[in-house]
Amino acid sequence: MCDECRDGPHADVERVLISSEQIDARLCGMALEIADVYAGQDAGLTLAPVMSGAIVFVADLIRKLPLKMKLAMTHVSTYPGATTQAHPPRVVVEPVGDLAGRHVLIVDDILDSGSTLRRVRAMAQERGALSVRSAVLLRKPGKAPPDVPVEFVGFDIDDLFVVGYGLDYDDHYRNFPHVGVLRAGLMP
């Protein structure tokens, strides 16, 4: 990353929780963990990124994955507009791509209550996936329900509302290169 963009354009971010350098290093480890599980499988691998939050994570992760793979994007909306209160996940676009008879790895930015992943897992199973696993960049511990297994986790974080590296508040800050916390007063 060039020096000029390292700090990003967002004076609204009060502090960086996880830097882009830390994320990059962890993604190398995650890619190896994922490759260990899927290498040598007969059926193909499809990654199903959950838009829009997973956009940056999946772009970086797949370039570190030494595996043949396909993508099946899906779009789920959980926090519509200027809110930090989750709404029931609304499927805006169902997975577009090959899931039937394939190993499906759902990729999302963060596991909070687990309702988004629960919904996408069910869609993958209904579409005939051979296996369904999940990878998230962030997990808020204590909130992940036992019926929503997540096999690959980048970082466990405290129960804070975070932005950057694909995560948004009111659809802003996805382009902030690190994971950070907004200044007080910007969110309800």
Catalytic residues: 112
| Shortest Å distance, C-beta 131 to ligand IMP | 21
Candidates 86, 92, 96, 100; binder of ligand IMP (CB under 6 A) is 86
Nearer to ligand IMP, 60 or 130 (CB): 60
Nearer to Mg ion, 53 or 164 (CB): 53
User: Would strands 131-139 and 152-156 be described as parallel, antiparallel, or unpaired?
Assistant: parallel
113 touching ligand IMP, by CB under 6 A: yes
161 touching ligand IMP, by CB under 6 A: yes
Span from 3-11, 29-37, 90-98, 107-115 in contact with ligand IMP (CB under 6 A): 107-115
The angle formed by the CA atoms of residues 36, 40 and 44, to the nearest 5 degrees, is 100
**Helices and strands (H and E) in the chain: how many:** 4, 9
Q: What distances in angstroms separate CA 1 from CA 5, 6, 128, one per listed residue?
A: 7, 6, 40
Nearer to ligand IMP, 108 or 154 (CB): 108
Could you tell me which of 15, 188, 27, 45 has the C-alpha nearest to residue 109?
27
Candidates 49, 53, 164, 166; binder of Mg ion (CB under 5 A) is 53
Q: Which two tokens stand for residue 90?
A: 């609304």
Could you list the beta-strand ranges (E) of 78-178.
90-96, 103-111, 131-139, 152-156
180 touching ligand IMP, by CB under 6 A: no
Contact residues: ligand IMP, CB under 6 A: 50, 53, 78-79, 86, 89, 108-116, 161-162, 167-168
